[in-house]
Structure 1
Amino acid sequence: MWIFFTVMAAFMQAWRNAFQSQLSQDIKVAGVTLARFIWAGPLAACYLLGLNYWQPTAMPDFNQSFWGFVVGASLMQILATGLMVKLFKMKNFAVGAGLAKSEALVAAILGMLFFGTQLSLLGWLGVLLGGIAIMLLSTQQGIQTLSLKTVLLGIACGSAFAMTSLWVREASLQLDMPFPHGAAWVLLTVISLQTLLLVSFLLLYDKSTLVALWQRPKLTLLISISSCIGSIGWFTAMSLQAVPYVKTLGQIEVFFMMLISSLWLKQKLKKNDMLGLVLIAIAAVLVMWS
């Protein structure tokens, strides 16, 4: 079941990234980040209500640890999304999103160090291939022109997403609830907090970005819908399986990104870009196989 939810999440995340890439051409980073959450909250609430109608459950016990993980995950995901939008502005959609997929490799390493996940020699080979792929994706016209800024930004983005995922799983484990209610509660609380923080920030410091976002309702709604469905997939899968395994399988997103980039966004991928994306996918397979 976790495999199904992971594939669904990867597919929807590829579309969300594509929509965010389009919106980032006209909207500031904070606005594009908010577009991910602004309509996702009501959708997450409807999803939770539907679950409770299907299988009624009592209110969960929100302990202190739960709120600590939720706050940490919320802030880290806002940071990660903002960094990814920065990547979109520096390179094309597929490459920016590809760099952000260093998340899976970082999650595997952090999972091994702090959450008891063990990697075999084959698994480490996958991690190495993923690192090579990131270097290729950050190369403009060959290894000699490697952009250190892009690499560091991509690794920071992936690391922030990895920490988000690890804390989301820990928050889900704090709730003694039947599947998939715990993940749904984590999703609703995280999205609600993120929306509150970003809307408050923009109201205080950048109202023009809120207005600009309001003037692009269709694209904003598409981002929120694809983000919410994708998050349902990620949060549910991570409540069932350890984060490194979920995120490495989620690397199949690169194939969706390649298709969207070439067929819908009409962006051409360079040879190194294609090779890098393929290597990331191979790295995911190796880590899963291990």
Structure 2
Amino acid sequence: MQILATGLMVVLFKQKNFAIGAGLAKSEAPVAAFLGVLFFGTSLSLFGWLGVAVGAIAVFMLSCPDGIRSISLKTALIGLACSTSFALTSLWVREASLTLTLPFPHRAAWVLLLVILLQTLLLVAYMLVNNRSTLKRMFTKPKLVVMTSIASFIGSLGWFSAMSLQTVPLVKTLGQVEVFFTILISFFWLKEGIKRKDIFALFLIAIAAVLVMWQ
């Protein structure tokens, strides 16, 4: 499911209104909440649901500057399929972690190892059959590949560890604070301006984070 979700995210890169699609892809917190309650035995308090809802509104505001009319049906469907795939990945990761009778954080680390191993075998096999030229080009940029892999590994270990301790919707809602750091990078490094609407959305993300921590 994570391979499918990442593939759908790459498809979103090619859409004209990418920001909207990416925002919908980041709406996995409410999707995980509904799927978790329906199929995975997840329970949320009133504060938890409120935090998930506030976080979803904030992400929508950041990704749809022109409102709901700016969303095309194609991009919306791809974005929602992407967020659903990411949500299912997270829910199954949590289920896998809970089945292991190991102390924290060893169970999350073992699940991460198995997930990365399976993904590597599947993707390398696919590229050997269908796209050897891209696989060869990766070996010409070893430093970039290694640094990207290390950063991805650290991020994944953090996600997997958090999801082994707490329900997925709350972890994903709290994780939306990454948007704050993304905007800081765009402001200080890329010299891009920040709109008042974006500042208000960041304030909502902060409120959502506080709500899920109180739940």
What TM bracket, shorter-length normalisation? 0.7 to 0.9
Structure 2: runs of 5+ lacking an equivalent = none
User: What is the Cα deviation at residue 198 of structure 1?
Assistant: 0.5
The Cα shift of 1:260 comes to 2.5
Equivalent position to 1:259, from 184, 192, 196:
184
- Structure 1 equivalent of residue 116 of structure 2: 191
Q: Write out aligned runs for 1:79-158 (5 A).
A: 79-90=4-15, 98-139=23-64, 141-158=66-83
Q: Is residue 2:172 matched to residue 1:247?
A: yes
Q: Which has the higher contact order (CA 8 A, sep 6+)?
A: 1
Q: 1:111 to 1:193 in 2, by over 3 A?
A: same
- In structure 2, the partner of 1:211 is 136
Give per-residue Cα distances to partners, 1:93-150, cap 9 Å, x unaligned.
9766544321222222222223333334444333443443454345364443223333
**1:233 offset after TM fit, Å?**
1.1
Deviates more, 1:164-173 or 1:260-269: 260-269
The alpha-carbon deviation at position 84 of structure 1 amounts to 2.2
Ranges in structure 1 where 5+ consecutive residues have no aligned partner: 1-75
1:200 Cα shift?
Answer: 0.6
**Residues 223-232 or 154-163, more deviating:** 154-163
**How many equivalent pairs are there?**
215
Please name the residue that 1:176 is paired with.
Answer: 101
Distance 1:253 1:166 in 2: 20
Q: What percentage of aligned pairs have identical amino acids?
A: 67
Letter in 1 for 2:136: V
Q: Which amino acid in 2 is paired with 1:174?
A: T
The alpha-carbon deviation at position 264 of structure 1 amounts to 3.5
CA deviation after TM superposition for structure 1 residue 267, in Å: 5.0
Deviating more after overlay: 278-287 vs 215-224: 278-287
Are the equivalent residues in 2 in contact too, given 1:134–1:151 (CA < 8 A)? no
CA distance in 1, matches of 2:20, 2:199: 9
Letter of the 1:159 counterpart: T
What whole-Å deviation, never above 9, does each CA across 1:57-90 have from its counterpart, x for those lacking one? Answer: xxxxxxxxxxxxxxxxxxx111112222333444
The alignment yields a C-alpha RMSD, in angstroms, of 2.9
**1:27-50 CA-partner distances (Å, limit 9, x unpaired):** xxxxxxxxxxxxxxxxxxxxxxxx
**TM-score normalized by the length of structure 2:** 0.82
Distance 1:220 1:116, change over 3 A: same
Deviation at 1:165, TM superposition (A): 1.1
